[in-house]
Amino acid sequence: MLCCHHYAESAQPSAPGSRDSSANSRFERLGFPIHLTFGPIDLLAATSHSADFRSPLTVVRIDRRRAADSCRRFILATLSLCVAAPVTAQTSAALRGRVFDTSGAVLIGATISVRNHSTGFARSVRADEEGRYYIAAIPAGPYEITADATGFGVERIRELTFEVGRTLVRDFSLRVGDRNESVVVQAELPLVDAATATVGHIVSPSTIQTIPLNGRHYVDLGLLVPGSVVPSQTGFSTTPIRGTGALAFNTAGNREEAVGYLVNGVTTNNLTFGSLGFPPPIGSIQEFKVDNSTFSAEYGHVSGAIVNLVTRSGTDQFRAEAFEFFRNDALDARNFFELRSAEPSRFERNQFGGSFGGPIIPDRSFFFAAYEGQRQRQGLDVNSLVLNDQERAATTDPTVRRLIELIPRANLFDSDGTPRFVGSAAASVDEDTWTADLRQNLGAHDRFQVFFGRQHVSGLEPRSQGTTVPGFGLRREIVKSIVTVNHTHIFGSAVNEVRFGQSGQDGSSFPATPLNPASFGIGNGVDRPIGLPQMIVAGALNFGGPAIYPQGRNDALYSVNDTVSYVANRHSVRVGGEYRRFFNDNFAEGTGMLNFPT
């Protein structure tokens, strides 16, 4: 794997003259992150290779002898630099430290155990000849920790919370005595991650579940991370979408497209725009961590930050919750420009849902399911130039007369006597999101997890592309989905974590009023009911269209990654690889635009 990684960059895209289709482009991403850590020095060697293979076949020629020689030189040079320290897992936590007696001598063969009584997860290791121990791949959550050795009493920590992506360091000092004697630590102070140089922030389960969050979009919690700023309202991926919020945020001075999003260790980035591909509902999230500086080599596909999210799972107890959040315009003030009404425009938002989880087989199999729905109805202010009655009556052209019927009559004349229509246009959002999590403890050395999510969003945006009268705008429909599969296996001093993921979306946007231009006598070459051309009159009356719709796309991202962590005495090696394949199919038509200066 090292050799393949070393020479992966010799792959070249096909010649500029090869076939290129924006409607069906394929991206292949191949990377082999290698994390070797030695003593006080942390050496990261990684290359995340990304190539756009425009031809169906790309041949890579590798000199195997040169590759083997280069790999041997690289490994020998690395190992000669210094001595190792353990590394952390990607979507889980780790615990390491040393075991001593009260005199300061190391206890060889002492047993350190971690156990989560709610999920049945348990793991034990023995301290080596230097009294060191290391427990990898611990799922995030609270655990009981015990340390014991022959001829010594037991030290037990009732509850120690592990957070995603962190390596905790905890030393134990055991007293001489009988094993029936124990020292119990009822409350352990939070431990600092002293094993890595990563700079990040963890958004805890209590924060996710209890903080007031308008709209219930978890990406908004990224603003709690030091170094994050309120995103631009005109940014590409940070522009909020009505009812669904923004799909990215800015942190550590980076663009929003430079943030990578992981769900259970599987990337969910929309590789077309670099934004969040599937937003899990709040009820399905256990916690997430944002690393925005000096993160590990295995996250090498972005330059800005990594959002590492883990989903909730069931426990040995059945638990359920239900909720509804309601907001309306009862306490809203009237907009200053709502000149025709003393009441504010309509606003109603209902967000509702629930979750249910528990055991299938106690201590072995668990499930957790969550649902969240939203129904939002909103009136948006419109103020448009329209025709007066005399102008309507004077029109003789049959096409224009038919178009005039789509324009509302004036209900207000300004101080200059200009006829205007002032009112509101209806905007709506319907959103439904389902997720399910299944976890299985396959004995002491294997753990299996499957997570599935699906989201359907439909909405009406009446003022898209500057439309100024009701009855037009765009209607959008989008379906997003995600599947992640994780398997963790422990064999001896090594831990293997293999993951598979599939995420995608199928969405389209159409004119809200799909009229046929030919039936109005408009000869623009369109004879199907996809919408009228967008017509702009005197820069103040805008109806029809929108000009750039219909359009849509269908994305599918497949990824497989495997990481092996090996610990031997004071040395550890972490090596892995990832393969991604991204499909993107687009369509775009457009109704066109007619601009009349007067």
Q: What does the DSSP assignment read for 454-472?
A: EEEEEEEETTGGG--STT-
Last residue of a domain, one of 121, 153, 185: 185
Lowest mean pLDDT of 79-83, 165-169, 441-445, name the range.
79-83
> Which structural domain range is residue 469 located in?
323-596
Confidence band, pLDDT 50/70/90 cuts, at residue 368: very high
Question: Does 472 lie in the same domain as 365?
Answer: yes
Do 401 and 482 fall within a single domain?
Answer: yes
Q: Rounded to 5 degrees, what are φ and ψ at 21? A: -125, 120
What 3-state class would DSSP assign to 558?
strand
Which residue, of 285, 311, 337, is where some domain finishes?
311
Residue 17, in any domain of the structure: yes
Pair (393, 471) in one structural domain: yes
Residue 263 domain-assigned (yes or no): yes
Of 196, 33, 48, residue with least CA distance to 575? 33
Distances in whole angstroms, Cα of residue 104 to Cα of each of 130, 168, 169, 171, 174: 12, 21, 17, 11, 10
Q: How many CA atoms within 13 Å lie on the side-chain side of 448?
A: 6
Domain-embedded: residue 161: yes
CB 552 within 8 A of CB 570: no
pLDDT on residue 62: 39
Judge whether 147 and 172 are in contact, CB under 8 Å: yes
Residue 106 has pLDDT above 50, yes or no: yes
Predicted pLDDT at 68? 53
Q: Is 295 helix (H, G, I), strand (E, B) or coil?
A: coil
**The 541-543 sheet, strands edge to edge:** 541-543, 534-537, 593-596
596: which 2 tokens?
Answer: 């009349």
181 and 213 within one domain:
no
Residue 187: its pLDDT value, please?
56
Q: What is the mean pLDDT of residues 345-350?
A: 93
Q: Which of 114-118, 129-133, 249-253 has the lowest mean pLDDT?
A: 249-253
Name the least confident of 246-255, 457-466, 548-557: 246-255
- Among 285, 308, 320, 278, which Cα is nearest to 209's? 285
Q: Please tell me whether residues 504 and 583 are part of one structural domain.
A: yes
Q: Residue 9 pLDDT more than 50?
A: no
pLDDT tens profile 414-471:
888 999 999 999 999 999 999 999 999 988 789 999 999 999 999 999 999 999 999 9
Residues 236, 98 share a domain:
no
The angle subtended at Cα 78 by Cα 75 and Cα 80, nearest 5°, is: 110
In this structure, is residue 85 part of a structural domain?
A: no
Q: Is the pLDDT of residue 36 over 50?
A: no
Q: How many secondary structure helices (H) and strands (E) does the chain include?
A: 5, 35
Tokens, residue 259? 């943030």
Taking the C-alpha atoms of residue 353 and residue 290, their distance in angstroms, rounded to an integer, is: 27
- Output the pLDDT for position 442: 87
Residues 389 and 447 in one domain: yes
Res. 198 pLDDT band, cuts 50 70 90: low
The verdict on 454 and 588 lying in the same domain is yes
**Residue 243 confidence (pLDDT):** 83
Name the domain count of the chain.
4
Is residue 354 domain-shared with residue 489, that is, in the same domain?
Answer: yes
What's 309-346 look like in SS3? EEECCCCCCCEEEEEEEEEECCCCCCCCCCCCCCCCCC
Residues 216 and 174 in one domain: no
What does the alpha-carbon distance between residue 592 and residue 546 come to, in Å, rounded to a whole number? 8
pLDDT of residue 178: 76
- Both tokens of 598, joined, read 């007067």
pTM to 2 decimal places? 0.78
Residue at 111 is within a domain = yes
Torsion of CA 88, 94, 100, 102, to 10 degrees: 130
Whether residue 88 has pLDDT greater than 70: no
Once rounded to an integer, what is the mean pLDDT over residues 152-171?
88
Q: What is the pLDDT of residues 299-317, one digit of tens each?
A: 767 888 889 999 999 999 9
Three-state DSSP class for residue 79: helix
pLDDT of residue 186: 64
**d(Cα 432, Cα 453) in Å, to the nearest integer?**
11
Give the pLDDT confidence of 476-530 residue by residue, as tens digits: 999 999 999 999 998 877 899 999 999 999 999 999 999 999 999 998 889 999 9
Same domain, 550 and 415: yes
Q: What is the CATH number of the domain that holds 294?
A: 2.170.130.10
Percent of the chain, pLDDT > 70? 82
413 in the same domain as 305: no
Q: In angstroms, what CA-CA distances link 100 with 126, 147, 169?
A: 13, 10, 14
Between CA 280 and CA 308 the distance in angstroms is 12
**541-543 and 534-537 strand pairing:** antiparallel
**Which one of 280, 311, 342 terminates a domain?**
311
Q: In this structure, what CATH number is given to the domain that contains residue 161?
A: 2.60.40.1120
Residue 372 confidence (pLDDT): 96
Lowest mean pLDDT among 17-21, 61-65, 109-113: 17-21
Asked if residue 191 belongs to a domain, the reply is no
- Give a yes or no: residue 88 inside a domain: no
Average pLDDT, the chain: 81
Round to whole Å and give the CA distance between 241 and 261. 19
Rounded distance between C-alpha atoms, residue 307 and residue 155, angstroms: 35
- Of all helices (H) and strands (E), which one includes residue 67? helix 64-79
Six-digit token pair at 275?
């934004």
Cβ burial 63-82 (10 Å sphere, 16+ → b, else e): eeeebeeebeebeeebeeee
8 Å CB contact between 37 and 87: yes
Does residue 418 belong to any structural domain of this protein?
yes
CB 104 within 8 A of CB 64: no
Q: Which two tokens stand for residue 536?
A: 């702009």
Per DSSP, which regions of 39-189 are E strands? 41-45, 48-51, 93-101, 111-116, 121-126, 132-138, 141-148, 154-162, 167-169, 172-174, 182-185
Per-residue confidence (pLDDT) for residue 249, from 0 to 100: 85
**Cis amide bond preceding 33, omega within 30:** no
